[in-house]
Amino acid sequence: AVRAFSEIPGQWKNSVANLYTFWRMDGLRNIHRIMLHNFNMYGPIYREKVGYYESVNIIKPEDAAVLFKAEGHYPKRLRVEAWTSYRDYRNRKYGVLLKDGEDWKSNRIVLNKEVISPKVQGNFVPLLDEVGQDFVARVYKKIERTGQNEWTTDLSHELFKYALESVSHVLYGERLGLMLDYIDPDAQHFIDCITLMFKTTSPMLYLPPALLRHTGAKVWKDHVEAWDGIFNQADRCIQSIYRQLRKTPDGDQKYPGVLASLLMLDKLSIEDIKASITELMAGGVDTTSITLLWTLYELARHPDLQEEIRAEISAARIACEGDVEQMLKMVPLLKGALKETLRLHPVAVSLQRYITEDIVLQNYHIPAGTLVQLGLYAMGRDHRIFPHPEQYRPSRWVRSQSHYFRSLSFGFGPRQCLGRRIAETEMQLFLIHMLENFRFEKQRQVEVRSTFELILLPEKPIMLTIKPL
């Protein structure tokens, strides 16, 4: 017989005790490890209550399949109240990230066509390829300046610039010039604001929203300042494209970027377009740059694998005869490496959905309306799901085993990551250019762990040595 909802194990009955354990384990930065610990303690399903919200947590691919079948027509994930509160406070519209219901669906359908459909992929490739080439030139310059034919550095700041330059080129069809020596201080400020925005979100994740705004707490003030910086910069970029478009409505034939395409399509209001473009611009920086940093870190720790991927890239370069879009179809191991990076170092600790119908998970009855979380970080490190999970093995995604509900780093279904295609193309092209030109090494073999600042980040700087081939 199916067991009752109330029988699910976990510390959900005593949310104060749970909050206490949470603080004691330095929960804010350790959410991912706490989830792992809870799955070890309670098994593959547990209930919890942290602060003001309650959830059922699961880890198995079979359960993920059941969860996503019950997500309904308007899939809804955990609402990040700090983000919606900011918009309410400043009277700004929600974009796709924060919308729900029919409003979300109608916006998302239009955005899908311009951002994630296979049809637009080809438009992005040359834009992203150009930024990748410029990044390589920039690294050669840096190496030259050291006078030692190598460069040892924490690449994160360069990667933030690469990611912002890439996503901006796709969104606006224009370069910001971040691969140059002297960059626009506003662009640098934008990058700093995104990092601050994520950092200030996590402490507010478990506080009731009303409390947030009325306490006048420093986190809230910093958070507002961060979003203000993000919106101001995005507004400037959007305004500039909008004005150009009004002057010369149909300029040349070349692809004008996502924003101009949306404006010309005329299916969403200007305010809706602005809101979602701002989210895309803000969502496009820390996510891909950190994933690339983790990938270089793993490849530096696995020199033979690095060589194997480099060989795959060389072969693809020759076989594609200059057709870069074609080339991206010939690098399965490189794609496996990115999946493997996201398995061990996911951007999102969990995926969440409010289920729209009653379901059964691990033989427990779960009523409609429940918030169910899939522990993505914990799943990626479970030996029953991924044999030898501690090993970085991109080939596991190429041959062998089933991938059934195991490749979920970008989420699933109609509510999955809208920036997925941009992110994947941008990251693949980056690695192609970098591995064609440089070798990556790591000094000391110390393990770098993740820390939670809304997204998972390396807890300390990753130092890499870059050498020309």
Which of ligand 2DC, ligand HEM, none lies near 96, with the C-beta cut-off 5 to 8 A by kind?
ligand HEM
Q: Least distance from C-beta 234 to ligand HEM, angstroms? A: 12
One residue of 50, 259, 348, 457 binding ligand HEM per CB under 6 A: 348
Query: According to DSSP H, which parts of 49-100 are helical?
Result: 61-69, 81-90
> Chain-centre distance of CA 297, in angstroms?
18
8 Å CB contact between 332 and 398: yes
Name residues whose C-beta falls within 8 Å of residue 415's C-beta, 6 or more positions apart in sequence.
Answer: 71, 75, 76, 77, 108, 353
The 10 Å CB-count burial string (b at 16+, else e) for 72-96 is: eebbbbeebbbbebbbeeeeebbbb
Amino acid at 63: D
Q: Which residue is nearest to ligand 2DC (CB)?
A: 283
One residue of 19, 25, 28, 80 binding ligand 2DC per CB under 6 A: 80
Say whether residue 412 binds ligand HEM (CB under 6 A): yes
Query: According to DSSP H, which parts of 173-217 are helical?
Result: 185-201, 209-215
Tell me the CB-side half-sphere exposure of residue 324, using CA atoms within 13 A.
19
- Closest Cα to residue 89, out of 277, 269, 225, 278? 225
Say whether residue 77 binds ligand 2DC (CB under 6 A): yes
One residue of 178, 454, 457, 462 binding ligand 2DC per CB under 6 A: 454
One residue of 85, 123, 168, 287 binding ligand HEM per CB under 6 A: 287
Binding footprint of ligand HEM, residue count (CB under 6 A)? 27
One residue of 34, 238, 349, 435 binding ligand 2DC per CB under 6 A: 349
Burial (CB count within 10 angstroms: exposed 0-12, middle 13-18, buried 19+), residue 457: buried
By beta-carbon proximity to ligand HEM, the closer residue of 433 and 439 is: 433
- Closest Cα to residue 46, out of 27, 60, 30? 60
By beta-carbon proximity to ligand HEM, the closer residue of 354 and 438 is: 354
Which of ligand HEM, ligand 2DC, none lies near 306, with the C-beta cut-off 5 to 8 A by kind?
none
Say whether residue 282 binds ligand 2DC (CB under 6 A): yes
How far apart (Å, rounded) are the C-alpha atoms in residues 96 and 104?
Answer: 6
By beta-carbon proximity to ligand HEM, the closer residue of 78 and 385 is: 78
Say whether residue 288 binds ligand HEM (CB under 6 A): yes
Binding map of ligand HEM across residues 140-179, x = CB under 6 A, - = no contact = ---------------------------x------------
Tell me whether strands 371-375 and 350-354 are parallel, antiparallel or unpaired.
antiparallel
Binding map of ligand HEM across residues 106-125, x = CB under 6 A, - = no contact = --x-----------------
Say whether residue 279 binds ligand 2DC (CB under 6 A): yes
How far apart (Å, rounded) are the C-alpha atoms in residues 218 and 200?
Answer: 9
Q: Least distance from C-beta 198 to ligand 2DC, angstroms? A: 7
- Closest Cα to residue 346, out of 31, 108, 51, 45? 31
- From the list 60-68, 142-150, 265-273, 348-356, the region that binds ligand 2DC by CB under 6 A is 348-356
At 365, is the secondary structure helix, strand, or coil? Answer: strand
Binding footprint of ligand 2DC, residue count (CB under 6 A)? 17
The 10 Å CB-count burial string (b at 16+, else e) for 31-46 is: bbbbbbebbeebebbb
Say whether residue 378 binds ligand HEM (CB under 6 A): no
The residues that touch ligand 2DC, with contacts defined as CB under 6 A, are 77-78, 80, 97, 205, 279, 282-283, 287, 347-350, 352, 417, 454-455
Binding positions for ligand HEM, rule: CB under 6 A? 77, 96-97, 108, 167, 279-280, 283-284, 287-288, 291, 342, 347-348, 351, 409-412, 415-419, 422-423
